[in-house]
Amino acid sequence: MKKITSLNITVLLLLLLAFTTQAQNKKLIFNNGQETDIQGNATININTGDITVQPVNNKLIVDEPASQKAIIGFYPSQYAIDQGDQIDVNWAVSFTDNTNCSASVTQGTALWSGNKNAGPGSYVQPNVTVTQLPATLRLTCNNYNGGSSYQDFQLVQAETGGGTPTNPVINTFQLTNYPGVNPTIPNSGNYTIEWSVSNLTDTQSGCTASNTALNPGGWAGTRGSSGSESIFIDGAPVLRLTCSNPGGSNVQKAITITNSGGGGNPSCNNAWLPPALTAVNFNYTDTYVGGLPQPPAVPNQNGFGNPFNDISNTSKSMINYIDPESQYITISGMTVPSSPVDRKFTFNTSPGYGKTNLSTVSISECQGDFNPSTARCIMPLSTTGSLNLSNRTEVANSGWGAQDNFCHLEPGATYYINFVFAPTYDGVIKNNVVEGEECLEAVSKKCSIFWGEKGWAPGGL
């Protein structure tokens, strides 16, 4: 009976083993959740209890000591790079709890963040951009036996064969049509500056523009490796472009301007006056000239030429009717404070007859000047539009300075505000009148301007 029983047990074990080896996707599974694929038959030594299997790939079973850290290796494809370069990040993990590995940067700046593969194995994330050096990248993983551990590596600036970081080269830095390091311009106004730089690590903001003028005219702040832009040159400043790479030396070029028109004021000999039109003069400090009465602004805060009490206060004034076929309006005495100030002019349909339709406004140190080279600003204007004015450089260099209805004024300067009742006026006349002049509901062919003024807050600046 014992022999029959032993034989029966042996047959049952062989049948069970035969059934198991016929199953698909055969695996060897450990009680800690790890597993590996096997091939062929598994055999059991019924005397010792040993099980023999053939893994699909070469495998080595390693004990898990309590002190074993989850991360086996963590390293980049290269350690010495240039700012802006891309690297491959490699890591290998084992003895993790399979739940979490996270990426972070503890020094500098790089696109290395978020959850990463945590299962046992080796991995690579290609094309990781490093934008600021030196940079330290970190990988943190949960250990199988509890707690977490991390590994770091540091990236540094690459050096040339001589051991000195590569410096940029400023190939071009000049005014268009006025080349050289000491160009002579005819007067203050808008000019185009162009530049190109090679060997620059940070091609987006590796250079700095600066200007010795009180009003930098837009030539200030960071610049990329090349470009061309219109800037306002006032007086005879020195324009500079300074570029550098991390660990290197500053490289600079300068343009020293000679202004044949003299200092800050442009020559009014070059002003474009509206042809065949006579100026009707008003003073900026005149609170009301015709029209319906409106409450005046309250003193204590400086506006342009007038004191204002609060940023929301508005004073309204209507200029008397003029004949746009024979007259244009010029308002004198708009003095810009030296202290920071932001103002807005709003233009509305007048409460009476002679409503304006479209007009062109210029702000210039010269009366009646509509020459883009000498006027501070020239722009078309509708009766429902507004004109934003500021004497602050940070506003001029912001998104507000890029708007069509923005004018950057010189602190301490005094300007004329000139109006012509014509859309996008360019100095052209037709049939002895300014081309395109018009107004709505004219009274004896006359138009008027009804306008207000108040402070404004430019986007958190």
Per-residue pLDDT tens digits for 333-378: 888 888 888 888 877 666 555 666 667 889 998 888 888 777 888 8
The model scores a pTM over 0.75? no
CA distance 7 to 267: 119
Domain containing residue 196: 169-259
Written as six digits, the tokens of 48 are 């010792």
CATH number of the domain within which 146 lies: 2.60.40.10
End position of a domain, from candidates 126, 157, 188: 157
Range with lowest mean pLDDT among 1-5, 285-289, 436-440: 1-5
Residue 163, domain member (yes or no) = no
Q: Which of 417 and 121 is assigned the larger pLDDT?
A: 417
The pLDDT value given to residue 298: 38
Q: Is residue 140 located within the same domain as residue 207?
A: no
pLDDT tens readout for residues 267-301: 576 778 877 778 888 877 665 444 444 444 333 34
If one compares 201 and 303, the residue with the highest pLDDT of the two is 201
| 425 and 310 fall within a common domain | yes
The band of 423, judged by pLDDT with boundaries at 50, 70 and 90, is low
Residue 331 has pLDDT above 70, yes or no: yes
CA gap 443, 355 in Å, rounded: 9
Q: Indicate whether 12 and 41 sit together in one domain.
A: yes
Q: Is residue 162 part of a domain?
A: no
Between 223 and 433, name the one with better pLDDT. 223
Q: How far apart are CA 348 and CA 386, in angstroms?
A: 9
Q: How many domains does the chain have?
A: 4
> Residue 308 pLDDT > 50, yes or no?
no
Arithmetic mean of pLDDT, 108-115: 89
**Nearest 10 degrees: Cα torsion 394, 285, 264, 389:** 20
- Residues in CB range of 293: below 8 A, 6 or more apart: none
pLDDT band at residue 174, thresholds of 50, 70 and 90?
A: very high
User: pLDDT confidence of 3, banded at 50, 70, 90?
Assistant: very low
**In a shared domain, residues 275 and 388:** yes
- pLDDT tens for 232-254 read 887 778 898 999 887 778 899 98
Give the model's pLDDT for residue 144: 74
Q: 279 and 375: one domain?
A: yes
Q: Give me the mean pLDDT over the 152-178 stretch.
A: 80
Is 460 domain-assigned?
A: no
Q: Same domain, yes or no, for 252 and 121? A: no
Question: Can you give the length of the chain in residues?
Answer: 461
Q: Looking at the structure, do residues 127 and 184 belong to the same domain, yes or no?
A: no
Mean pLDDT of 91-111: 83
pLDDT digits (tens, 9 = 90+) for 195-219: 999 888 888 888 999 887 655 678 8
Strands 51-55 and 439-440: unpaired
Positions of E strands within 244-326: 251-256, 258-259, 278-283, 301-302, 307-308, 315-322
Return the higher-pLDDT residue of 65 and 301.
Answer: 65
